[in-house]
Amino acid sequence: MAVASLHHTDAASLEAEMRAVGTRARAAASVLAKASTETKNTALRAAASALRSRMTALLAANAEDVAEAKSRQLDAALLDRLAIDEKRINAMATGLEEIADLPDPIGRRDAEWTRPNGLLIQRVRVPLGVIGIIYESRPNVTADAGGLCLKSGNAAILRAGTESARSSRAILACLVEGLESAGLPAASIQLVPTQDRAAVGVMLRMDDLIDVIIPRGGRSLIERVSAESRIPVLKHLDGICHTYIDAGADLAKARQIVVNAKMRRTGVCGATETLLVDRKVVATHLKPILNDLFAAGCAIRGDAETQALDARVTAANEQDWSTEYLAAIISVRIVDGVDAAVAHIEHYGSHHTEAIITEDANAAETFLAGIDSAIVIVNASTQFADGGEFGMGAEIGISTGKLHARGPVGVAELTSYKYIVRGAGQVRP
Amino acid sequence: MAVASLHHTDAASLEAEMRAVGTRARAAASVLAKASTETKNTALRAAASALRSRMTALLAANAEDVAEAKSRQLDAALLDRLAIDEKRINAMATGLEEIADLPDPIGRRDAEWTRPNGLLIQRVRVPLGVIGIIYESRPNVTADAGGLCLKSGNAAILRAGTESARSSRAILACLVEGLESAGLPAASIQLVPTQDRAAVGVMLRMDDLIDVIIPRGGRSLIERVSAESRIPVLKHLDGICHTYIDAGADLAKARQIVVNAKMRRTGVCGATETLLVDRKVVATHLKPILNDLFAAGCAIRGDAETQALDARVTAANEQDWSTEYLAAIISVRIVDGVDAAVAHIEHYGSHHTEAIITEDANAAETFLAGIDSAIVIVNASTQFADGGEFGMGAEIGISTGKLHARGPVGVAELTSYKYIVRGAGQVRP
C-alpha cells in the first residue's frame, strides 16, 4: 500500500514536472512565432559565441560524461560519438552561425490567388509550435536541433541521452545565453530535467503541448517512440541504400561512384549497402568494381554468381538484402535489367536513397519513376543524401516517411502554414 | 481453453482478411502511381456514369439501410445523413466529374535547382500510397473519398459506417466499374469487408500497408482513431470558429457577415460559434446584430453585459466558450480590443477558422499574426472555410492539425514528394 502510493506520487510529480516544461515551451512558442528574423539570428550568433567562450567548461562537463561512460564500459563507438573536443565545439558554433545565415522560412508567402468573388487568399509559412526531440549520445544534437528549431520559430524540448547529460546541459547553457541576449524566452529551448526513462513516456502523451516528435537514434529508439507516441512523429528509419549499375553504365563513372557511395563514410545513412548489377555488364563492369572495393578495404557478400567471379566474395544470405551495415561491408546481386533492380529495391529497400548508373535515358526514367524513395539519383553517389549537399542548409535528419516532410528535414520542413483570407464584406451564398 | 482458442482463431482470421485487403491495396497503389491523368479521369467519368445508370439499385440498397436504421430507432439527424435520393446520387456523380476536371497533382514539379557541383535537383509530387478512410453514416463519402484518392494516385481502403453498409457497397460497385473500364485494378478502392469493430483496430495497426488514416466523423471517432493508430492520422477536430467585431468594423459589413457566418448553414464546421465584440462598439454594433440574429431564429447565450443589452439573451457559462454547437445557437462575449479577442480565441478556440471585421489595417494585421488557426479571415464570413470556396476543388475535410496539411485537404494535400537528382558522375568529396 505504501509502495503503491509512493509510486503514484512519483508518477504524478513526474507528470507535473513534464507538463510544466511543456507549458513553458508553449508560452515561448507564441513569442518565437512573432520574433523577427534579426532577433532569432542574434540569439543564434550569441549562442555560437558562448560555445566558444565557454570552451573550458564544455570540455570539463564532457570529460565527466566520458569518464562515467568508460567506468560503465560502454562501447568504443558510443565513446566516439560522445566525446567532444575543441574542434567539435567550434563545429557546433559554426553550425549555429550557418543556421543564422539561412533564409528565414517564417512569413514566406508560398501562394496567393484571388477568387472570382474578390477574396484574396494567401498561404503563409508559420512555425509548427513545440517540437520534441529525443536523441542518444551525440551532444552536438543539442546545439544543432536547438538552433534549427529556433530559426524556424519553434520552441524545442530536447531529451538528450543519459550518457551525454552533463555535456548537453553545458551546451544548453550557451543556447540560453544566446536566447536571453536577444530578449527571447529562456524556455525556447529546454532539456527534459530528468533522465528517468518514464519522462519519455509522459512526453509522448503530451499531445496538447507538443506538436511533433523527432526521434534521432537507432531503430529501437525510433520504434519505441512510434509505438508510444500520441503526437505525430517525423522519423528517420533505416537507410538501406542501393546503387544499380545498368547495362548502359559508363564504366569510369560506375567505378568512382560505387567506391564513393560505399566507402566515403560508411556510418552515414546515405551510404550504399547493396550493389545491384545488370547481368549484361557483369564481365566488363563488376569485376573491376569488386577489385576497387576490396582495394578500399570493403568486405563483399555476394550472390552465387558474384562469388563465382572472385574467391574473396563471401555468401550473402536473405538477411543481407535488408541489412543496413553502416560498416565497410557491401552486398552484391546480379539482376536482369532495370525492372528487376526496381523490384529488388522495392522489396528489400527502406525508401531512403537509391541511384542508377547509366547513360541510357530510358533506363534512367524507368528507375526514377519506379523507385518510391525519398531521393532517387542518376549518375551520382548516394552519399549526396544530405540537406547541406542539397543546398538546404543544416538538417535535423532525413525523413523516410511520406507525410509532411520527405528526405532532408531542414528549417523549411520544420514549418506549417496558414491561410490568410482578405475580403471586403463577402458572405457565402 | 476452448473459448480462448476460438477467440484467437477469429482474431487471426480477421487479421489475415484485413492484411489481404491491405496487400491488394499496396499492389494497386503501385499501378495507380504510374497511371496517366487520362486513365484516372476515364475511370472517374465512367464511375459517374455508373452511378447514374445504376440509380435504381442504389436507391434500393439505401432503402434497406434506411429501413434497418428506422427499425433500430436511430435518430432523425442520422437518418437524414444516411438517406440518398436521385438528387444526392446525381450530386455524387457530378462530384466525380468535377474531380476529373481538376488538375492532376501527380508529377508536378514543385521546385528545381542546380548545385554548384552540377547536380540538378527536382522535387516532384508523388502519391502518398494507401489511404485509409474511416467514416460514419454518409454514404456519399464512399464516392467522394474514393474519387479524391483515385485522382491523387492513391489506393483507398474505406471503412464505412455500419448503418450505410449496403449503400456503400452499391456505390463501390459503381467505382469499381469505372476503374475496370479504364484498365485500373479493382482493388484501387476497397471497402473493409466486415462491419466487425475489431477490423478498425487491425486496420490502425497495419502501418506497413497503409500510409495515412483519415477519420471523418464525430469527436469520439476521431479520438479513438488518434489514440489507437500506429499510422499517421490527418484529422479534422472541432470547428469552434469565431467572428470578432473590432472597433473599426463597418456596421453594414458586420451585420451581413455575422448572420451569414452563423446562420447560412449551422451544421458545417466553418459556422461561427462565438461572436466577440469590442466594447467600444457595443452600443452601435452589437444591438442591431443581436436583433438580426434573433430575427434569423438564432438563440443567443451571452456574458453579463450582453444579457443586459437584451432580455432575450440567456446566460453563457464557461463551457459555452468551447462548445461547437452546430446549431442555431451563438455565444457572445464583449472584449477590450483585438488583443483580448486574440487571447480569448487562443484559449478557447480549436484553431480552425476565425474572422475579424474591421476597416482598421493595424487591427487586421494584429489579428492575422496573433491567431494560430488554419484559416484567418478579414471582412468575410467564416463559412468560406471550404476547399471548393478556396478554388481547390473537392475536399476530404479541413485539417486542424499542423503536420502535412492544414486547412482544406484536397487532391494536392493527398500527395507527398520525392527528390530526383540528375548527375554526370559526381561523387561527394
Q: What is the pLDDT of residues B118-175, one digit of tens each?
A: 999 999 999 999 999 999 878 999 999 999 999 999 999 999 998 999 999 999 999 9
B30 touches chain A (CB under 8 A): yes
Q: What is the percentage of chain A residues whose pLDDT exceeds 70? A: 98
Judge whether residue A29 has pLDDT over 50: yes
Tell me the C-alpha distance between B132 and B207, whole Å. Answer: 11
Nearest chain B CA: its distance from A253 CA (Å): 5
Q: Which B residues, 338 through 357, put their C-beta within 8 Å of a C-beta on chain A?
A: 346
Q: Which residues pair with B159 in a beta bridge?
A: B134
A36 touches chain B (CB under 8 A): no
Torsion of CA B181, B182, B183, B188, to 10 degrees: -100
Enumerate the residues of chain A whose CB falls inside 8 A of the CB of residue B374.
418-419
Tell me the C-alpha distance between B65 and A417, whole Å. Answer: 41
At A138, is the pLDDT very low, low, confident or very high (cuts 50, 70, 90)? confident
pLDDT score for A403: 93
Judge whether residue A159 has pLDDT over 70: yes
At A223, is the pLDDT very low, low, confident or very high (cuts 50, 70, 90)? confident
Cβ contact B229:B200 at 8 Å: no
CA distances B277 to A428, B195, B281, B336, B415, Å, are 21, 48, 7, 8, 40
Residue with more model confidence, A239 or B62: B62
Q: List domains and CATH numbers for chain A.
A: 2-235+409-419 (3.40.605.10), 241-389 (3.40.309.10)
Of B419, B422, B423, the CB nearest to A407: B419
Of B368, B403, B428, the CB nearest to A212: B403
Show the 3-state SS of chain A. CHHHHHHHHHHHHHHHHHHHHHHHHHHHHHHHCCCCHHHHHHHHHHHHHHHHHCHHHHHHHHHHHHHHHHHCCCCHHHHHHHCCCHHHHHHHHHHHHHHHHCCCCCCCEEEEEECCCCCEEEEEEEECCEEEEEECCCCHHHHHHHHHHHHCCCEEEEECCHHHHHHHHHHHHHHHHHHHHCCCCHHHEEECCCCCCHHHHHHHHCCCCCCEEEEECCHHHHHHHHHHCCCCECCCCCCCEEEEECCCCCHHHHHHHHHHHHHCCCCCCCCEEEEEEEHHHHHHHHHHHHHHHHHCCCEEEECHHHHHHCCCCEECCHHHHHCCCCCCEEEEEEECHHHHHHHHHHHHCCCCEEEEECCCHHHHHHHHHHCCCCEEEEEECHHHCCCCCCCCCCCCEEECCCCCCCEEECCHHHEEEEEEEEEEEECCC
Enumerate the residues of chain B whose CB falls inside 8 A of the CB of residue A232.
232-233, 401, 403
Mean pLDDT across A285-291: 98
Indicate the SS3 state at residue B200.
helix
CB pair distance less than 8 Å for A423 and B226: no
CB pair distance less than 8 Å for A374 and B419: yes
- The residue in chain A having the minimum alpha-carbon distance to the alpha carbon of residue B107 is A369
pLDDT score for B114: 98
CB pair distance less than 8 Å for A426 and B379: yes
At A52, is the pLDDT very low, low, confident or very high (cuts 50, 70, 90)? very high
Tell me the C-alpha distance between B321 and A137, whole Å. Answer: 46
- The residue in chain B having the minimum alpha-carbon distance to the alpha carbon of residue A421 is B377
Q: What is the percentage of chain B residues whose pLDDT exceeds 70? A: 98
CA B48 to chain centre: 22
**ipTM of the complex in this document:** 0.92
Judge whether residue A4 has pLDDT over 50: no
Judge whether residue A3 has pLDDT over 60: no
Between chain A and chain B, how many beta carbons pairs sit less than 8 Å apart? 193
Which pLDDT tens digit goes with each residue over B43-60? 999 999 999 999 999 999
pLDDT score for A134: 95
pLDDT score for B363: 98
Q: What's the pTM?
A: 0.92
Judge whether residue B189 has pLDDT over 50: yes
Q: What is the CA radius of gyration of chain B?
A: 24
pLDDT score for B2: 38
- The residue in chain B having the minimum alpha-carbon distance to the alpha carbon of residue A414 is B403
Which pLDDT tens digit goes with each residue over A352-400? 999 999 999 999 999 999 999 999 999 999 999 999 999 988 889 899 8
Judge whether residue A10 has pLDDT over 90: no
A425 touches chain B (CB under 8 A): yes
Cβ contact A260:B427 at 8 Å: yes
CB pair distance less than 8 Å for B30 and A232: no
Which pLDDT tens digit goes with each residue over B359-397? 999 999 999 999 999 999 999 999 999 999 999 888 898
Mean pLDDT across B298-316: 97
Mean pLDDT across A234-253: 93
Judge whether residue A7 has pLDDT over 80: no
Tell me the C-alpha distance between B244 and B81, whole Å. Answer: 32
pLDDT score for B387: 92
CB pair distance less than 8 Å for A391 and B121: yes
CB pair distance less than 8 Å for B418 and A232: no
Among B212, B249, B208, B211, residue whose Cα is nearest residue B233: B212
Torsion of CA B56, B57, B60, B61, to 10 degrees: -150
CB pair distance less than 8 Å for B128 and A418: no
Mean pLDDT across A80-84: 91
Judge whether residue B356 has pLDDT over 70: yes
Indicate the SS3 state at residue B322.
helix
At B29, is the pLDDT very low, low, confident or very high (cuts 50, 70, 90)? very high
Of A230, A406, A426, the CB nearest to B416: A406
pLDDT score for B264: 97
Angle at A420 between CA B398 and CA B284, to 5 degrees: 105
At A78, is the pLDDT very low, low, confident or very high (cuts 50, 70, 90)? confident
Of A128, A256, A427, the CB nearest to B256: A427
Q: Which B residues, 204 through 243, put their C-beta within 8 Å of a C-beta on chain A?
A: 207, 211-212, 226-227, 230, 232-234
Residue with more model confidence, A93 or B2: A93
- The residue in chain A having the minimum alpha-carbon distance to the alpha carbon of residue B400 is A418
Angle at B394 between CA A425 and CA B151, to 5 degrees: 150
pLDDT score for A57: 97
CB pair distance less than 8 Å for A426 and B384: yes
In B27-163, beta strands by DSSP E: 109-114, 120-127, 130-135, 155-159
Average pLDDT, chain B: 94
| Strands A241-245 and A272-278, bridge-based pairing | parallel
Beta-carbon contacts of A74 under 8 Å, excluding residues fewer than 6 positions away, are: A82, A163
Tell me the C-alpha distance between B386 and B408, whole Å. Answer: 6
Enumerate the residues of chain A whose CB falls inside 8 A of the CB of residue B128.
402-403
Tell me the C-alpha distance between A58 and A178, whole Å. Answer: 16
Angle at B30 between CA B26 and CA B33, to 5 degrees: 125
pLDDT score for B9: 58
CB pair distance less than 8 Å for A375 and B419: yes
Mean pLDDT across A273-293: 98
Average pLDDT, chain A: 94
A426 touches chain B (CB under 8 A): yes
CB pair distance less than 8 Å for B403 and A252: no
Of B212, B406, B424, the CB nearest to A416: B406
pLDDT score for A197: 85
Mean pLDDT across A79-106: 95
Beta-carbon contacts of A188 under 8 Å, excluding residues fewer than 6 positions away, are: A25, A28, A29, A31, A32, A149, A150, A155, A156, A179
CB pair distance less than 8 Å for A428 and B390: no
At B235, is the pLDDT very low, low, confident or very high (cuts 50, 70, 90)? confident
pLDDT score for B5: 38
Mean pLDDT across B63-78: 92
Tell me the C-alpha distance between B176 and B379, whole Å. Answer: 44
